[in-house]
């Protein structure tokens, strides 16, 4: 199998790597996070101008019609630079749900605002919302917790009953409590009390599942990028930090731990590639099994790499001023977002395992 990038993919990688290198040195990240919406408005505009918000959407909807590999390239750079901009919640999660599940005219209009960066959207994956039809249309009541990117979203995609619904943030009856997340970014808890929507706001529920799968693939790429950067930073530290007159990297035990980190990083990179390639899989059951397996892998590998990086750095690794502590926080957060490792392993088992059970039953 050929894993080399095409010319267009290399151009995309060069563009996003240049953006991260120029706009996101670690000493600028805190300033970006201190802006009113928790990320850099200038960097977000540059991401929009580069077309990053248009990558995953079909040309018929105004997008670029590219695939999982291109999103993987972007996700790795996001992880490496610890970017705070809302590409995951607004474009990958909410945008994908709208693209796959809304009526074409509605999807085109909503995605135009999302792709331009004018509208920030968010998708609830932890919602307990009831939908009731009455003379006034559809009434939504309930709650949603930890809605990623919801702290500054102007638009929400909320699962309720046998559908999901597009709900503006200023809808009467919708209360939003936003807060910052461990590892960067923000989220919100929502309360819905008699929120009214009509049929044009309806999204087919399978589209939410497709969006969550796209989110896991993006998180896998982001985790792989963050782990690679954490490993490189750790190896550099082992080579330069001296104790008792020699670099601590000459200690064989520390060399072995760094080698173990490399194995886990390569495993995470393989999982990210697999997630990118399976993104276009038409078999929903296969996508579900693959997504659960990938999320479990990046949760396990991310935890090992993050903890090992802290241990090898010693006390400085937990300080706010050192980049390793921020990689640790982000990898910890990624492990929990969209379902933790234990939950994904249980889901994978319920789905029949990574390869499925049917072929083994037939063989028996």
Question: Is 102 or 137 the better-scoring residue by pLDDT?
Answer: 102
Mean pLDDT of 35-63: 95
Evaluate if residue 359 carries a pLDDT over 70: no
Boundary residue ending a domain (64, 88, 115): 115
Taking residues 223-227, report their average pLDDT. Answer: 98
Residue with tokens 């009509």: 198
Co-location of 339 and 275 in the same domain: yes
* pLDDT the model gives residue 358: 52
With cut-offs at 50, 70 and 90, classify the pLDDT of residue 27: very high
Of the pLDDT bands very low, low, confident and very high (cuts 50, 70, 90), residue 354 is: low
Structure confidence by residue, pLDDT tens digits, 298-331: 999 999 999 999 999 998 989 989 999 999 999 9
Exposure string of 222-250, with b = 16+ CB inside 10 Å and e = fewer, is bbbbbbbbbbebbbebbeeeeeeeeebbe
The C-alpha torsion from 67 through 203 and 94 to 76, rounded to 10°, is -30
Q: How confident is the model at residue 55 (pLDDT cuts 50, 70, 90)?
A: very high
| Domain final residue, candidates 204, 223, 241 | 204
pTM of the model: 0.94
User: Residue 177's pLDDT is what?
Assistant: 97
* Residues 220 and 340 occupy one common structural domain: yes
28 CB contacts (<8 Å, ≥6 apart)? none
- In terms of domains, do 189 and 252 share one? no
CA dist., res. 164 & res. 107, Å (int) = 13
Q: How confident is the model at residue 1 (pLDDT cuts 50, 70, 90)?
A: low
Q: Is residue 284 part of a domain?
A: yes
Clarify whether residues 108 and 235 are in a common domain. Answer: no
Same domain, 60 and 150: no
Q: What is the mean pLDDT of residues 158-184?
A: 94
């Amino acid at each position: 199998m050929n894993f080399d990038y095409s010319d267009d993919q290399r151009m995309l990688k060069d563009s996003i790597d240049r953006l991260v290198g120029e706009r996101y040195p670690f000493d600028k990240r805190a300033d970006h996070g201190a802006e009113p919406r928790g990320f850099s408005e200038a960097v977000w505009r540059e991401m929009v101008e580069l077309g990053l918000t248009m990558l995953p959407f079909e040309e018929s909807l105004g997008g670029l019609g590219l695939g999982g590999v291109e999103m993987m390239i972007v996700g790795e750079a996001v992880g490496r630079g610890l970017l705070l901009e809302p590409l995951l919640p607004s474009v990958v999660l909410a945008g994908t749900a709208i693209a796959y599940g809304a009526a074409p005219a509605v999807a085109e209009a909503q995605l135009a605002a999302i792709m331009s960066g004018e509208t920030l959207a968010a998708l609830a994956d932890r919602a307990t919302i009831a939908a009731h039809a009455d003379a006034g249309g559809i009434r939504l009541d309930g709650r949603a917790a930890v809605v990623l990117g919801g702290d500054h979203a102007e638009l929400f995609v909320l699962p309720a009953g046998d559908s999901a619904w597009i709900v503006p943030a200023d809808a009467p009856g919708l209360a939003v409590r936003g807060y910052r997340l461990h590892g960067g970014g923000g989220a919100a808890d929502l309360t819905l009390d008699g929120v009214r929507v009509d049929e044009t706001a309806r999204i087919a529920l399978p589209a939410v599942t497709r969006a969550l799968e796209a989110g896991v693939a993006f998180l896998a790429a982001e985790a792989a990028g963050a782990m690679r950067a954490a490993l490189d930073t750790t190896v550099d530290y082992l080579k330069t930090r001296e104790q008792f007159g020699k670099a601590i990297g000459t200690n064989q035990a520390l060399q072995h731990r760094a080698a173990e980190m490399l194995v886990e990083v390569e495993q995470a990179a393989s999982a990210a590639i697999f997630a990118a390639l399976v993104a276009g899989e038409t078999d929903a059951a296969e996508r579900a099994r693959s997504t659960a397996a990938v999320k479990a892998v990046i949760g396990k590998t991310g935890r090992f790499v993050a903890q090992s990086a802290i241990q090898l750095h010693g006390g400085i690794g937990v300080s706010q001023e050192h980049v390793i502590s921020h990689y640790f926080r982000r990898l910890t957060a990624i492990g929990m977002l969209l379902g933790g490792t234990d939950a994904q392993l249980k889901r994978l088992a319920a789905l029949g395992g990574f390869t499925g059970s049917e072929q083994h039953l037939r063989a028996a």
